[in-house]
Chains A and B, each alone.
Chain A
């Protein structure tokens, strides 16, 4: 505030007089701008889990200063967790990568090089690999945190340009089984309802999800529902008593891997006590033994004969009683609306798809679907696993718009839309994640692009795959904002990219909702948005391979500035050409519509007017889903138009109990399970650089049941060695009445080589979804020393 002497004297005199008389003068602080006053707030999405919280980034003088929730948003209603509130702090972190780094050999040190050199090297290596070893010698490994535009453009160049389906992403490690479950049970991927069901649900069945840690903002909605309506029943089924169990009325604690028996037993009770919805089954359900063989209700009933609650209770380890199973089954069947929620506890399993099917079975049998408050809802782990990767064609077997690669008609649609010759996209699906990294081990992949993820830390049994990643056989390009274990161990070329809010793009969260984040600040000098990097790289590739079709792939995007026009053009192409007419129709949701909304649009949203209302809350319901009306085959209120089920019915599957790959034995007597913790995100490259978050959880620990700890002489804080057939970790013990006896639990974020739990986990995969079994393996534990002062470790 500038004040002249005269002003000052005047005010002083006036104030003295006023105070003498006991008056209050109408002076205000208008001249004294408060710190917050000139802060601009830019709306976007949070990038640190699949909830899809809407938030605003506060920007002052071009620098980020704060994050706050958007109260009008239908996903988070203004609430944020600590990660979401604090991630602005890494935007200007000193560790940000700002120049391309290159090393010819992985044992060398990185050298700083210019962008031109970097792009040339990347194009050279990929072109060389394709020329010498064929298109399948190159691969893309992306992320559920990449924007939809990025995933879409990458897969377009790899499929259409380089002619390989080796397009994968870390969502293979997190929700491939959920995709398998939805496709086989409902005929179409992604949930029927969404978060809105939480506020209508009467019974909430949480299985294999510690949503209090992994999805705290969704958990708040569940908690609110329970507190406002004490009659609402919350059931938690988990081998570990977690924070989520705190609000549960019933907690079913079972030995890891026996939940298939439990879910079958629930179905047994539902049928035995005639709690199923006969009309619903008659109208909408087919029973399946396998894909080709349909069976009748009686045969399905017979298949469950083995799963009496008594037997199931025994299989589950004896902590759950048969009566509890009966009670849960009755609740699920008879409540006004039952909502099931699960995450990795079901997905990251060798029987992941089966476990998903069994949950869907309960909903289909009881008709707890499609009505208010009833749904079978798989929560996604990453912010854009649904939107970008599942819908955008980011996995080796699917093209954009939920199109299976193997179907020629689908490939042709895509080729036509891209204006490239028919037959350009290969018919064979590419390598799935674990096969891709096995191929790296064998030296079959010559050039690989890893975008926005750190497989060196996040792959199960990572010791095995890191051998291949560290070899010079595979040239690896990493695009990231920070150094990670992957850039350190595996990368030949590191390209610095723009962070969230430094570029424009769309994220699609759990409930089919696509939400835009517009650029709010400039990336650090030298970092570039991925879409621009890929486009320019593709142009160079076209030159080096002398292939005009690669140019055709990027033709619609040539010359556009990368801040807004380029992602907009990509989104336009994706929604108008790829999703139009598909079940994830987003053609009514161009940038203009998304920008006008506090949250976003739930597909299908074929028209702009409809999209502006928020889109489809419930799929398959006539009157709520425009596609159900359009694609109806009869007069019934529900229309299951999913392409995977030609009979337009829901399928109930026979899925017997099956053991995980490894069960404890005399040598390795413990189950090991891994998971998340509220304050950290994945490989910690972001949250590890936020002091507040790191201080709360500086390093990983192993949770041990007090009974086991007493038996093994382990005290709280003691250093414990965890060994499996694959690797070893040493970390402090947390003796805690959490995991069931005979089970230990660790979170997987820690980057320190001693505490990287994925060295211990198993790489067995689900035969259907190819998702690895992170959640269950056998290990042994041993006390090595008393407490030690440890230091947090971030690359």
Chain B
């Protein structure tokens, strides 16, 4: 919401407060200011000047040398290329060392040898356009002395055309002897058409004495380019552009900023959806009045009325869907004179970010901004049967809205219709078929209250959120429609734009009961932790428009957000100042506090990973369905049963992952593509599986995933990391088994890690084909560990085991066995074969090659044997080893090498 401070001033005088202080105070009391803008901040040293004298430039065929009175003792000389000015004109003058919008710096200069101490400004140079000053539109006459033939060989008009030369039909060349401005934007041109003198009135401002014009003798009309069917390039200087000639109440030397309305300051607010009342000048004025402790000056619109006709005869309104249209208020204006609205109104609209269009349309916008009540004006001519029906659209009904788009409507939408067809989309946009146009005579002003969610859904469905719909969707004050429509009529009379018909059509389908809240100042103070005097709160509430009798607060109709004493507490607190509320710490501790066991385990797992050099990553929970193909999941894999986002940003983020592997592989691949050499990553992230209880909700188990490549990473590196995590979490009794069937992993380099029957996870080298799917040709390694399984497997507090007091005996054994026999089986067999003295088995070599028979391998272990109560003798140790070897030979056919 953009607020003009000039406009605000009409309702409350906050005093000489800078924009910054104003913004701060309003923000602190609850109306957040986004930005403030001084509309004239960029304009410096630009004043009103009067052209005292103008002469043609001695050395140019198109420039003028002007002597300008800028309110100083001496006139200043300025050279301009514009042709639309005349002696006596008031114009904006950018003096030497002045600044214009866009940071343009103007200094003195020299134009073809003539000194120029500044510049005369066009509308555009002041950041304005014709809609701001409609009278500044320039229509250029075709000056024959400016004629440049398209083909130099074949000019349509001779170079030295003489007065009386026939151009075509009755159009002849005429030499201008004198031009007299009438001061109202028109000129009396005296010219000679070859012996005959004419005095012709024209609005073309680019004609001066000694010019040659094309004179239509029959019409007594000086021809424009259009009249001659000429192209712009044929008359390069006869253009619809030039200096902005001021028709304002000003004098030479005046600062240009107030003259063009650039002395306003605009404050842009962020209005929260609960406060649609603040989407208006009056709403914000009320907030400002309370914030600054100044009186709010409101004014009741007064309408004289008296136009011909009786409203009930002219207009009939029906609201067959009262739930969607709680109130419909309308008035009529006759004998409308469509034209530009006055400068002050255009300026305020412009400051509020609204484009001026014509007086009637501007009035509806002005009232919407001032009262926060969207208004609509439509041409009575096109209300067939003098009847307005506010009804649901018919299925398939179409309406061309003001923006020219054809809208297909549905019965969920509300339209304003006449007897036969829709003329507007209620609360969103008017129809093109009833638009206010230049020759509109009778106008209906609509000021209605529509049901918010209906308007919102309509605007959303049609993709046309307008200023009006944005207001309606928040729920507007039902009591505001009447003052607003009266204000519009008052403005019509003020502007002399038409005659208002007496009476109002006002259909009230819903009579609101005022909300009351009990006033409990002490309870409020306790709740806020403050000590605001009751009297202060009463004053604040009264100034905000709340009724207060005894301990009953009556909430004003525009404050539908207030319904409970906590809402009243907010009103009291925000004007007391949130920053004046003391800072206290609540007493009391809860039984549940600190990290819980799961969180402790998560922290521990993360610390273990980082301790091994793995860095933490964060990946998206949603993935592309194509990811499942990339990791080679078979078509019937249960992991493909993902929950789908029905309105995803894109296919790539459209399903909730059931596995973290694609996320990890994507990050590994990205690092690989960035040529990062050694990468170790982990993530403790969720996966998402549909719950089978019909709730639509998900199980969201966490997975600890590890990923790595480079710097010597191999299967055993990844396995070692997994072992370290498991041991770090004091998980006991886990084992690794070859996993050959996981399609994402290398079938010969993949393992399951289990504890009892419970699968803890999978790890290994990523299948080269999968790696290739990610565009990677190096070996990638990954592990996926089910975090809840890890948590359940965690051991408790460790119990001290006494350190050995007697030395151990070690024996190295090298076994020859079948090449396919897993080392794990040998180890397990060794442990079973021992007779209680074996304390450790350490693999130290696996060898195939020379000296070992084909199909066999040699596996070397270091055995550590020890008794807790004595030093072992060699014999004892050898005996144990012998038992081990016997079992190895018997069960696994493996013998000492």
Chains A and B come from one and the same complex: no
- A interface residues, Cβ below 8 angstroms from B: none
